[in-house]
């Protein structure tokens, strides 16, 4: 088993322990769901491509492309308090970086029910703690769709998706062109551009953001952002937090806080989450929902192939060596930690951190 797999396993164990400490309970699901669940909610999926098969009873089933839909589906229509769950599941979807379908390992959590400021802040704090558990260096980018949505109210609905897409690319010239085509005035266009380029620590961004957060909805969103930043600071967090309003997504899904987590050496985010009350409403559930997923498959890119090993220790013995003594030596090495493979001949295709010959140590 190579180092990458062990790194993923260590990360999963660490994250499970973290979420359990905050009262989140494990959620288990089948590898399959009825295809109808996903086809009716394609707008809430990362990829619209779904692997399907016909079950023995004739039902069309799907290999799950998403975990959140299953959790929401199995949430009671009305909750007393909050449902707090975490999961570690494989999903099956297409990836822009690879041809065809991939099996992607995810871990994450969902908080569903009567959300308040503390519940939202707890989820954002756990997102930051998750990044810290993986790497000592990270960034957590935070945005709020309430502020973006308030500006988008000033343009025709048919143009909103295109403007959002260009905000995500920080493409200011394209935003100006789209606003002109949509008939947005110069003042509104300038606000879109300024909001897109706003980036930095909370104490540097919140003040200029006040000039852009006009109206009741945007003002409420700004107050939420301020309070979330205060909650993080009260827990000794937030030093790696950045406010970034190019972090946008489909307004049909997210309706409030939205965030992304990044690690050095990875071009794409390793964590994604936000508030998604719209999905609950669509599925006939009351309350709000917020959560995030950590994409563990991204961790492979943190470790160059040359650094991978198939095991920690290779113990070699000869035909003259006593099998019982070899077994005792293997047990001693195993108790010292790490994996131990015992062979008479060194496997040519495998790499180990160290090689130990029975009765003597040798270098790699």
Query: Dmax over Cα atoms in the chain, in whole Å?
Result: 88
Residue 231 host element (H or E): helix 216-234
Of residues 1 and 117, the one with the higher pLDDT is 117
- Chain centroid offset of residue 2 CA: 23
How many residues are recorded in the chain? 364
Which residues, 6+ apart, have CB-to-CB distance to 243 below 8 Å?
141, 142, 143, 198, 199, 200, 201, 202, 205, 206, 209, 225
pLDDT in tens, 75-120: 888 888 899 999 998 888 776 555 677 777 889 999 999 999 999 9
Residue identified by tokens 């995500």 is: 168
pLDDT in tens, 121-166: 999 999 999 999 998 899 999 999 999 999 999 899 899 989 999 9
**DSSP, res 104:** E
With a cut of 80, say whether residue 1 has pLDDT above it: no
* pLDDT at site 103: 77
Cβ-count burial of 318 within 10 angstroms (0-12 exposed, 13-18 middle, 19+ buried)?
Answer: exposed
* CA–CA gap between residue 301 and residue 265 (Å, rounded): 8
Taking the model in full, what pTM does it have? 0.80
- Cβ–Cβ under 8 Å, residues 146 and 217: yes
* pLDDT at site 95: 61
Return the exposure string of 83-118: e unless at least 16 CB atoms fall within 10 Å of the residue's CB, then b.
bbbbbbbebbbbeeeeeebeebbbbbbbbbbebeee
pLDDT in tens, 194-227: 999 999 999 999 999 999 988 888 999 999 999 9
pLDDT in tens, 247-263: 876 656 788 999 999 99
């Amino acid at each position: 088993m190579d180092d990458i797999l062990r790194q993923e396993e260590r990360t999963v164990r660490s994250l499970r322990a973290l979420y359990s400490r905050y009262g989140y309970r494990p959620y288990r699901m089948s590898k399959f769901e009825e295809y109808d669940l996903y086809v009716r909610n394609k707008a809430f999926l990362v990829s619209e491509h779904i692997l399907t098969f016909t079950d023995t009873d004739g039902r069309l089933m799907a290999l799950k492309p998403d975990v959140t839909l299953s959790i929401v589906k199995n949430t009671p229509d009305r909750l007393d308090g909050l449902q707090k769950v975490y999961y570690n599941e494989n999903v099956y979807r297409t990836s822009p970086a690879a041809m065809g379908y991939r099996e992607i390992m995810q871990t994450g959590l969902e908080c569903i029910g009567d959300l308040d400021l503390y519940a939202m802040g707890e989820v954002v704090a756990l997102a930051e703690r998750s990044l810290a558990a993986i790497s000592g260096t990270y960034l957590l980018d935070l945005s709020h769709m309430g502020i973006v949505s308030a500006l988008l109210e000033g343009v025709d609905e048919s143009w909103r998706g295109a403007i959002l897409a260009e905000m995500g690319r920080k493409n200011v010239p394209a935003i100006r062109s789209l606003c002109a085509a949509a008939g947005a005035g110069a003042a509104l266009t300038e606000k879109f551009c300024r909001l897109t380029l706003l980036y930095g620590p909370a104490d540097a961004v919140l003040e200029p953001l006040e000039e852009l957060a006009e109206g009741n909805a945007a003002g409420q969103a700004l107050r939420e952002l301020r309070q979330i930043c205060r909650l993080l600071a009260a827990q000794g967090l937030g030093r790696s937090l950045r406010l970034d309003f190019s972090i946008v997504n489909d307004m049909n899904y997210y309706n409030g806080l939205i965030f992304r987590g990044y690690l050095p050496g990875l071009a794409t985010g390793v964590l994604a989450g936000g508030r998604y009350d719209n999905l609950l409403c669509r599925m006939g559930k009351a309350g709000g929902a917020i959560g995030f997923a950590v994409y563990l498959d991204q961790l492979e890119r943190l470790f160059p192939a040359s650094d991978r090993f198939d095991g920690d220790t290779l113990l070699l013995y000869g035909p003259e060596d006593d099998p019982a003594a070899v077994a005792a030596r293997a047990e001693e090495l195993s108790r010292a930690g790490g994996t131990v493979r015992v062979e008479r001949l060194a496997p040519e295709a495998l790499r180990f951190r160290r090689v130990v010959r029975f009765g003597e140590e040798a270098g790699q």
